[in-house]
Amino acid sequence: MARVYIDPGHGGRDPGAVDGKSGTDVLYTEEEDLTLTVGMLLYDALKRCGVNVGISRMADVYPSLGERARKANEWLADCFVSVHFNAHASAAKGMEVLYYPSSVKGKKLAANIYDHLAPITPWGDRGLKARDNLYVLRATSMPAVIVEYDFITSEEAERLVVTEAYLAAAAEATARGVCDWLPVPYVAPDGNEADDPTGDPDDVHIIVARQSKYGLVEDFCNENSLTHWTLEDLNVPTSTFHITKGGE
């Protein structure tokens, strides 16, 4: 059975990127919460696909980077997927998948994942990046990627990525990419081997939103700018969502 090790970035004493409230930006977002949410959803998704899944944390705790890599190595994972959200002083937006430069299989894994992520980001292409200076890419002995799901420092992107629909779509898209790479058939949340996740472009619905620790996110969701996927398409029961800290 294929073995995939998931690493939800940061946690515990390390919140990762933090975006506080300022001006019109009323959301307070810590990267560690989003990474754990996506990591747990990805964990569930890959289990559903029959994959043997390991994970570096399932709670608000901080394993060191050395511990994360060592556990994946000892567990003999086939691949390592580290989950992160990005931050920058500019208004940068978009997803990136990072891989170790000399790893051909790692680059392929990054490409497989990005193929499925690209349809769910409204901001265009940042794509794949080779990085030789990132610990978990260097210290893992199997093909490894770091997925940066978007920039919480862009108010527009932040308001998107804190929605449950986005977090679920991000996890399912990542699962599809990992399944392509392994390869094993991807099994959708409804139990079927799903076809095109992007669906019919005419089949656009308003994303459902609700109050969360991040504040009310429905004003973003009432815009018709999200034309790539829908909550209905995901078929994810709301009970499977894990928003990890407070406010729920």
Is 39 a residue that touches Zn ion (CB under 5 A)?
Answer: no
How near is the Cβ of 80 to Zn ion at its closest, in Å? 15
Is 8 a residue that touches Zn ion (CB under 5 A)?
Answer: no
**38 close to 44: Cβ distance less than 8 angstroms:** no
Considering only the stretches 15-23, 93-101, 109-117, 191-199, report the one whose residues sit in contact with Zn ion under the rule CB under 5 A.
15-23
Residues 53-82 that bind Zn ion (CB under 5 A): none
The binder of Zn ion chosen from 68, 71, 84, 176 (CB under 5 A): 84
How near is the Cβ of 161 to Zn ion at its closest, in Å? 13
Q: How long is the chain?
A: 248
Is 9 a residue that touches Zn ion (CB under 5 A)?
Answer: yes
The binder of Zn ion chosen from 11, 16, 143, 189 (CB under 5 A): 16
By Cβ distance, which residue is nearest to Zn ion? 84
Nearest residue (CB) to Zn ion, 82 versus 112? 82
Binding footprint of Zn ion on the chain (CB under 5 A): 9, 16, 84
